[in-house]
Structure 1
């Protein structure tokens, strides 16, 4: 891409932030994460995301279709690592189910509350209820089912009727996702301590 002989204004269309080492798409995701969680999703324009990522708005569309695609990918990024870990825990039948459930709760909270941006807060957006985010909802439902399977594998969970097991799963899963609001109220709280305390509380709710 030529720049001409004059002074270059701004950054080239697909320039990365200095020393970031990120791809243009990852730069856009990072910019979107920052802006969506600080300015709000509705108030953030595609132009603002592109400029924060160091490119022109027209160049942004070479990498993503728009704001909804960025939001969908950010949402899924808060769930897919926990789901992958949940599958590992489900397969590890040598460890007690209660310990595996506790570990899933702990790591899930650390994921939701870790990182420089409170991405979990994006769950609360009204836009997320639309069909466009069906992929996120499908992955989230699969993660919730992993919680249910681990709870059912415990001695206490195995003794529950299906309706009671479903209710306990809803309560535990609701507690884990509820940390989004608690974390937002006190973002300086040490995440590791918070995660362990939440996992302890989740198991008490589960009756494990």
Structure 2
């Protein structure tokens, strides 16, 4: 019995991610184009051409451009949300847990190959394909609120928690606007220290 025909055409040129899957290469190419050219100015044809495959190959993995963007955006918050859940199971002080989450979150935002976070402000994000991303980002915001409240010793600290959350995400703009940044671990510690001061920690 002959094998099923492959989708699209063989990959042309050198691979973007030699150790990556076709799906990962599509995501990587889309992240570069979305962050450098803009979401609206990028077509699925451009993404496929950058990877070196036909659009049919791209559609085998992603049915729409919105699905690609949604997965990219979710990848910027889901690791930190999972980490926040893990921290909640550990016997850490609120201050230590807040510091750890800030450092980790900053590392995720700065360590990505492309600065996908700059796409958070797109008007398309308010639409249905991005419901899960919005929900997960709000869950992460809530984790910051809870930790800040615990550090401050108050029942709630929504405004201060939101300020800390915004300060963490401000590294997205720093990455876009500044020609050079401190190493992620160093910047992460600086943001973590500032978060503790904002939360009212005596440290």
Distance in 2, Cα, partners of 1:54 & 1:126: 30
Match among 150, 155, 163 for residue 153 of structure 1: 150
Q: Aligned residue for 2:11?
A: 15
Match among 37, 42, 57 for residue 59 of structure 1: 57
SS of corresponding position for 2:113: coil
Preserved contact between residue 26 and residue 51 of structure 2 (Cα < 8 Å): yes
Summarize the alignment of residues 8-157 of structure 1 with structure 2, pairs less than 5 Å apart.
Answer: 13=9, 15=11, 17-18=14-15, 20-92=18-90, 94-154=91-151, 156=152
Distance in 2, Cα, partners of 1:59 & 1:103: 40
SS of corresponding position for 2:20: coil
Between Structure 1 and Structure 2, how many residues are aligned? 194
Q: Compared with structure 1, are the counterparts of its residues 114 and 57 closer, same or farther at alpha carbon in structure 2 (3 Å cutoff)?
A: same
Q: Compared with structure 1, are the counterparts of its residues 136 and 36 closer, same or farther at alpha carbon in structure 2 (3 Å cutoff)?
A: same
Match among 180, 185, 199 for residue 206 of structure 1: 199
Gaps of 5+ in 2: none
SS of corresponding position for 2:169: helix
Deviation (angstroms), 1:161: 5.1
SS of corresponding position for 2:52: coil
Q: Whose Rg is larger?
A: 1
Distance in 2, Cα, partners of 1:40 & 1:167: 31
Preserved contact between residue 90 and residue 150 of structure 1 (Cα < 8 Å): no
Preserved contact between residue 109 and residue 176 of structure 1 (Cα < 8 Å): yes
Gaps of 5+ in 1: 3-11
Deviation (angstroms), 1:54: 1.4
Alignment of 1:171 with 2:168, yes or no, is no
Deviation (angstroms), 1:177: 1.3
Deviation (angstroms), 1:124: 2.2
Root mean square deviation, CA, Å: 2.1
Q: Compared with structure 1, are the counterparts of its residues 72 and 87 closer, same or farther at alpha carbon in structure 2 (3 Å cutoff)?
A: same
Instruction: Please identify, of 13-22 and 186-195, the stretch whose mean Cα deviation from structure 2 is larger.
Output: 13-22
Deviation (angstroms), 1:14: 5.2
Q: Compared with structure 1, are the counterparts of its residues 68 and 171 closer, same or farther at alpha carbon in structure 2 (3 Å cutoff)?
A: same
Distance in 2, Cα, partners of 1:113 & 1:14: 33
